[in-house]
């Protein structure tokens, strides 16, 4: 289990069925998080997509 880097909401990765490098949304704050690794579990805020002008 890890905590959301933004809101510290505890996240159980098994609920999301994601692989390394995948992006999912925090169920609490909705921020998109990227899975960096599983041992230990590391989550980072996903960089925003470049916006079209
Ligand atoms: Zn969050």
Q: Report residue 49 CA to chain centroid gap.
A: 15
Distance 51 CA to ligand 1 centre (A): 22
CA of 16 from ligand 1 middle (Å) equals 14
- Other Cβ atoms less than 10 A from the Cβ of 35: the count is 21
Residue ranges per structural domain of the chain: 2-45
Q: How many residues does the chain have?
A: 53
User: Any idea which residue has 């899975």 for tokens?
Assistant: 35
Residue 25 has a pLDDT of 92
Higher pLDDT, 19 or 14: 19
CATH classification of 2-45 is 2.20.28.160, yes or no? yes
d(CA 34, CA 42): 8
Ligand 1 mean position, distance from CA 3 (Å):
8
If you average pLDDT over residues 12-22, what whole number do you get? 83
Query: Is pTM beyond 0.85 here?
Result: no
Measure the N-to-C terminal CA separation of the chain; round to a whole number of Å. Answer: 38
């Amino acid at each position: 289990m890890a905590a959301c880097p933004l809101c510290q909401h505890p996240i159980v990765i098994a609920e999301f069925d994601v692989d390394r490098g995948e992006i999912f949304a925090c169920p609490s704050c909705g921020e998109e998080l990227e899975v960096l690794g599983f041992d230990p579990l590391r989550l980072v805020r996903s960089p925003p997509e470049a916006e079209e002008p």
